[in-house]
Structure 1
């Protein structure tokens, strides 16, 4: 599959058809990505990086932000792991910062936090690819990254609380009808019991009255 084919497939003027095609392509690419990455596990680093680069571009083209970011992050980690053999492979501060901002903008706050950590590590560890990045040691840049990290952590925490609250409300909405049914059942049972007891008491009184009448001398 080439990018020209993807672009042609997504070029439909029919909004509904375009959405359906995009959805189908997402499912196809997600499935194929996993299969192909498994197949390339024993391949060379360069080969793996080419595969990752292809799928990163493909997911970007079809608008699958989650997988686009996930594969970019994995590719960055692969590059950093192999930077000891080739310094040019190391991920720059610029790249980590851009990735952090894109993750933040798209709502992936935990990923943005990790990217900020990588950017700070890149600076403090002096793991810089090019001398032009020396100015990133400037305190203002470090503070900028730290502020972005703090903001990402706050948003991630807030999102987590919202998810927990949403899950609680969903659970509550499911349990509430059950509780109401249980109360209704208990009410019906209680009412039925009282009714039967009332009839028994009335019948007992009538029996006692009848017995009294029978014992009265004529």
Structure 2
């Protein structure tokens, strides 16, 4: 990575630490992603993702005691920043956080109220990107909020058709998310079972090979000992024969 890129990343870091959550900062971030070199672009994107993940936590904590507008400004900035660098997981997580903040404060500030369509759009994005647990939470939150208003409950004739369709779609996506989570859980359990079974089989095979090796070694060692014993017996017989020949010359042929 070139020196100029390092300096630009450092400058972006200083802007974020100064809580400059403006369009100008986002434009500067976007300029850092303009590169003709694919390898360089990959490195810059990775560095930016790490920087944003680290600084987003610090920044969001720093505005925790401030106004809802300050919180939403910080959240919106990082949502857009993560979208620019292609970090969908972080982007969705902070989008959900922003929706929850608005939902919690909407009782006192009506303009913060999250519309059913906003919930639906978020859930669709979460499901599309495979974040089913987040999608399920968003669906439950959305349906819970809709259920607080009797005029919006599914099945009532006073509910507009488009609202019925949104509630129905949110319910369908919630069921899809729950099914995917359950399916994923079963797949994880199956994978863990197969891993345990494979590990057990590998250990069994290793033990069997070790036993065979020990048995083979013992057999070879036994043969060696037997051959050595026979050799010693043969040498002893030769020695006795030589001694007898020396004492009784008549025994020689």
TM-score in terms of structure 1 length: 0.79
Query: 1:127 and 1:150 mapped to 2: Cα distance?
Result: 23
The aligned counterpart of 1:131 is none
Gaps of 5+ in 1: 129-133, 211-218
Out of 156, 172, 190, which is 2:215 matched to?
190
Shift of 1:123: 2.0
The aligned counterpart of 1:79 is 102
The aligned counterpart of 2:148 is 125
Out of 153, 168, 172, which is 1:147 matched to?
172
> Over residues 140-165 of structure 1, what are the superposed CA-to-partner deviations in whole Å (9 max), with x where a residue is unaligned?
44332222111111122222333444
Q: Does 38-47 or 171-180 show the bigger shift?
A: 171-180
Contact 1:123 1:137 in 2 (8 A): no
Out of 128, 140, 144, which is 1:105 matched to?
128
Contact 1:100 1:112 in 2 (8 A): yes
The aligned counterpart of 1:88 is 111
Out of 174, 186, 195, which is 1:161 matched to?
186
Query: 1:11 and 1:179 mapped to 2: Cα distance?
Result: 55
> Over residues 110-166 of structure 1, what are the superposed CA-to-partner deviations in whole Å (9 max), with x where a residue is unaligned?
1111222222123211299xxxxx526855443322221111111222223334444
Residues 92 and 35 (structure 1), Cα distance of their counterparts in 2 relative to 1, 3 Å cut: same
Gaps of 5+ in 2: 1-11, 13-24, 152-158, 237-253
| RMSD after superposition | 3.2
Query: 2:197 and 2:38 mapped to 1: Cα distance?
Result: 38
Contact 1:100 1:116 in 2 (8 A): yes
The answer to whether residue 30 in structure 2 is matched with residue 7 in structure 1 is yes
> Over residues 61-82 of structure 1, what are the superposed CA-to-partner deviations in whole Å (9 max), with x where a residue is unaligned?
1111000000111111111111
Contact 2:120 2:166 in 1 (8 A): no
TM-score in terms of structure 2 length: 0.69
Query: 1:25 and 1:80 mapped to 2: Cα distance?
Result: 30
Matches within 5 A, 1:164-175: 164-169=189-194
Q: Does 161-170 or 18-27 show the bigger shift?
A: 161-170
